[in-house]
Structure 1
Amino acid sequence: MPLSLYLLAMAVFAMGTSEFMLAGLLPDMASDLDVTVGTAGTLASAFAVGMAVGAPLVAALARDWPRRSGLVGFVLVFAAAHGVGAVTTSFPVLFAGRVVAALANAGFLAVALTAAGTLVPPDRKGRALAVLLSGTTVATVAGVPGGSALGELLGWRATFWAVAALCLPAALAVVKAVPAGRVNEEASGGADLRAELAQLARRPLLLVMLLGALVNAATFGSFTFLAPVVTDTAGMGGLWISAVLALFGAGSFTGVAVAGRLSDRRPGVVVAVGGPLLLTGWPALAVLAHEPAALFALVFVQGALSFALGSTLITRVLYEAAEATTMAGSYATAALNTGAAVGPLVAATALGTPAGDLGPLWASALMVAIALLVALPCRAVVAAGRPLHSTDSTAVRQR
């Protein structure tokens, strides 16, 4: 894998830290802003909605932008939104800031995902995606637990300032990593936007987008509300939240690393093995969460399975959208973040059930079950290896 991919992953790390960090900060933010934990949890959904809606919109607008300066601009807007979030005392202003940050993140990720596919041979998109997503998984291993610990020690606003500061070296990394061409110049003569949008009418593409969204909804639904499970159900102190989040992140890193080697050629193996295990794991975690040892082990396993399955399905989106040479990354981003928007909302509703703090875990199991039921009659599409589209053939000849 080229060095430029790893430098792009550094920027993804900065943004991923922000996307996930609320999982360890919600109780303090809710108290400081005088809202309920469930209401504070809508900040995660606000970010995800901005990502899901913004990815196709911003990717379409950015088709004719200079790619390097566009990506740097997205990073700087992202930093500014966190600076505003760090000083505001208004929940609506913070909510709006999360949407703005999400739009910037969406634009960055949509362009970066498409760019990543041009940096490697056409049959290694899964590996390239795994490298890019490693920025996100490292964020869950180090950035999010670190942010949670920083918030515990200095308050949640310090974490927002830290993310804003982290964006500066990320912007420098983008300058060094990304060639100075325009996005649309790499689309083999310039792709027609209407033709690329028409790809969304294809049933296989819609199917894998739906499955990716459902699995990611299950992941974010439980991840967002892990903090009260740690402190209330398991009865551990606030600093243990960081340890649990780090375990989830370590699992997610492992899952992406393993799935990245299979998602190009053997996605059906990942789905057939990982899907039922993931479905079993969420109820097991709900039943055993009061035991710290079981909680630690299952959080790691669920992180690995969630990201292995989720990243494989998102890779399938990139392959099924291969004809949409400048918009494929935005479709993958939209699918991933539609789930990230819906998951916390469903999980927040589950908090009001008799299951209480464990409600989100049961809700995640339900969402995975729906995904598997949808996938079963369409398993030939899900399990397909890399399709050789015309764009792949062109890329092979060019190389």
Structure 2
Amino acid sequence: MKEILQDHSLSELQILMEEWGERKFRAAQIFRGLMQGKRVSELSELSKTLRAKLCERFEDEPVKIRETFVSSDGTEKYLFELADGNIVEGVLMRYKYGCTQCVSTQVGCRMNCAFCASGLNGLVRDLTGGEILSQVLAVNARRGGTLEKRAVTNVVLMGSGEPLDNYANTVKFLRNVTAEGGICISARNISLSTCGLVPKMYELAEENLPVNLTVSLHSPLDEERKKIMPVANAYKIEDILKACAYYFEKTGRRYIFEYSLIDGENADKRHAELLAELLKGRPCHVNLIRLNEVKEKRLSSVSEKEAYRFLGILEKSGLSATLRRQIGADIGGACGQLRAKRLREVQDDQSDTKELQ
């Protein structure tokens, strides 16, 4: 696979152009064109010679939309194909304040959380910062967005993969997606979701990138959390809370805990009361989620009534909490579901071919 030109910042492109003996303003033309979602070969302001030279070294289209699925509620799910043939997925969700795109940071995932489809086939590889960014650029262009009036207004790093397990590339993406002169999405309109990689949470607090930090908690008890999330064997809830407090101290940004309600596991009155006691007085918000059921995981969601009962206990205790509305359920809206489905179809096709042979 060739290099990814979208990995480069404007200053890095300027250095490249100088090394190639080109005028410095060419870097700005390249940067702006890429941020508009153009292929390298479509950068018409450049000479044919320069475009050919760029295409020789860099991928012409590192990420392309292979399939689009539209939910009855207006949510759009995209299957992205990478230049090496791997696939990842993303979701565009419509809200009153704008459109939020969920992006993937890895092909697959090695965290193996009990409720998530992303890790069904393990981690294949990390995405580069430019591949993460290109997901946003492709959807913004597909939806008719420009740099002046974006179709994508908010970004959440909650797709396939653990962002902080791909730390350097994730930070590169954050710097480039927020950069002046590009698509320039404010850090305050970006949320990064982690399963709780504590050392990397401290590192992120030092990056001067005040994104919204979202931590997958899913239980107020360490021993129960270990059954749901293997990462809990390395980092206790107490460690996570200390890292969140440090993040708040450095950025001034309230942190968010995601809590998927799993029937028979973490969603009864006792868990709600323990969660309320654990988080009471902290500058945080709890985002309750009715589980998006994954066939291979054999876990079930609670009813809407049970979810609101859990929410009521948190609110009565004084916690800031909401129940996320379910969107995109009819198109496999949860992380990794679409990719997993496509991989199963490929495996079935290969099995059929072998049987015919």
Larger Rg: 2
TM-score over 0.5 (shorter chain):
no
Could you state the TM-score of these two structures normalised by the residue count of structure 1? 0.23
Give the TM-score, by structure 2 length. 0.25
